[in-house]
Amino acid sequence: MADGEPATAAAMTFLERCTKALERARASLMPGCREMTRRSSDALEREPGLFDRIGARIHLAMCSACRRYRTQLNLLHRTARRWRPENGSPKRLSPEAKERLKAALKKHVDEGDCDHDHG
Amino acid sequence: MSTKEIATMTTGDETPVSIGPAAHPERWVDEHGDYLFHFALSRLRNPTLAEDFVQEALLAGIKAHHRFEGRSTERSWLTGILRNKILDHFRRAGRETTFTDLDFHGDEETRSFEDRGFLPHWAADRAPGEWGGTVENLDRDEFWKAFNHCTAKLPERSARVFLMREVDDTSTEEICAALGITPNNLWVMLHRARFALRRCLEVAWLGRTPESTE
């Protein structure tokens, strides 16, 4: 059988591919907690694939620590947008820095021959 | 206000710009200076540089004042100018920086998990604790203090990416273009920043097991 060898090789490659695909599906469907932290972050950025989503659902249903992680990340995500520079002891410009800024702005306006003739 | 009150000036070969009497740059320093400074400092982490950028933004504000149409507040308009200036700065400087920041979180992440069975599970003392809260609960001064403290402790690049994405709500495309990175790089950086920040907040804000902060 002259065709025997290539056929076996092709079958091997096919089997290898199947194994790899199965392994990927398993990893997708059965994530560990570490992988789950990555998915929880990614979920805020883009739509996950089908297997990833199913796997995440199953994991979250069983793991309270990862549920908390996801909830907290979502909270952080919604709260961060409310950040304002004046929240929580902000850094301020020193009086000297303010004077420097004012001087620079004044110079800029003056150099522009901008005569506001008030009176 | 008549148009006569609006002085027109020409700077070099630029198109003429006009400054209305409504532009009071010195008042801007008093009213918005601290705000803009803190905004710039939290992103640039260098007081001198931050001051320079505030100045640049205010100068640009004077030039562009005729384009301010009162659709937003003066402050958010100036903040927008500052934000773009900083983004430009990152665009120019960003590509030189390497990805060393990514290594930083590696340790923290490794210590947070242990192999149980064949999948890594949370280490007992690192699992997320109960925050017991809503957004309203979080939106308090103590929280923001911890937030500022923790973002300042993140590696510079991580903090930058996190603030751009989560606070300024900059789009993925814009950040990637500014920093010269791929979306995948960005997602990895965001994941690590969030991971470290969440952990840091739990320690700094809720006072949980401080031994782990190192």
Contact B120 A77 (CB under 8 A): no
Average pLDDT over residues A36-44: 95
Check residue A48 and give its pLDDT. Answer: 92
Q: Which residue of B has its CA nearest to A93?
A: B34
Task: Kindly report whether the global pTM for this prediction surpasses the value 0.80.
Answer: no
Check residue A80 and give its pLDDT. Answer: 87
Place of tokens 């700077």: B11
If you ran DSSP here, which 8-state letter would residue A49 be given? P
Cα–Cα distances in Å, from B17 out to A10, A93, B9?
Answer: 73, 29, 6
Helices (H) and strands (E) in chain B, counts: 9, 4
Burial of B197 (0-12, 13-18, 19+ CB in 10 A): buried
- Chain A positions touching B28 (Cβ under 8 A) are 105
How many CA atoms are closer than 13 Å to the CA of A101, on its beta-carbon side? 31
Among B59, B120, B166, beta carbon nearest to A34:
B120
- Contact (CB, 8 A) for A98 and B30: yes
Q: How many Cβ atoms are within 10 Å of B39's Cβ, its own excluded?
A: 29
Average pLDDT over residues B120-137: 77
CA angle A91-A96-A101, nearest 5°?
85
- Contact (CB, 8 A) for B172 and B207: no
Alpha carbon distance A99, A115 (integer Å): 21
> Which residues contact residue B11 at a Cβ distance below 8 angstroms, ignoring those fewer than 6 apart?
A112, B17
The pLDDT-based confidence of B104 (bands split at 50, 70, 90) is low
- Chain A positions touching B169 (Cβ under 8 A) are 81
Residue A3, pLDDT above cutoff 80: no
Least Cα distance to B201 among B156, B138, B157 occurs for B138
Q: What is the bridge-based pairing of β-strands B113-116 and B119-122?
A: antiparallel
Among B35, B41, B195, beta carbon nearest to A37:
B195
Residue B21, pLDDT above cutoff 60: no
Among B34, B128, B187, beta carbon nearest to A68:
B128
Overall residue count recorded for chain B in this entry: 214
Check residue B23 and give its pLDDT. Answer: 54
- Contact (CB, 8 A) for B157 and B97: yes
Check residue B105 and give its pLDDT. Answer: 58
The pLDDT-based confidence of B87 (bands split at 50, 70, 90) is confident
A29 versus B110: the higher-pLDDT residue is: A29
Q: Which residue of A has its CA nearest to B171?
A: A45
Q: What is the pLDDT of residues B163-180, one digit of tens each?
A: 989 988 888 998 898 888
Q: What is the mean pLDDT of chain A?
A: 83
Q: What is the pLDDT of residues A8-27, one digit of tens each?
A: 888 888 899 989 988 888 88
Contact A69 B55 (CB under 8 A): no
- Chain B positions touching A38 (Cβ under 8 A) are 191
- Chain A positions touching B138 (Cβ under 8 A) are 75, 79
Average pLDDT over residues B74-94: 83
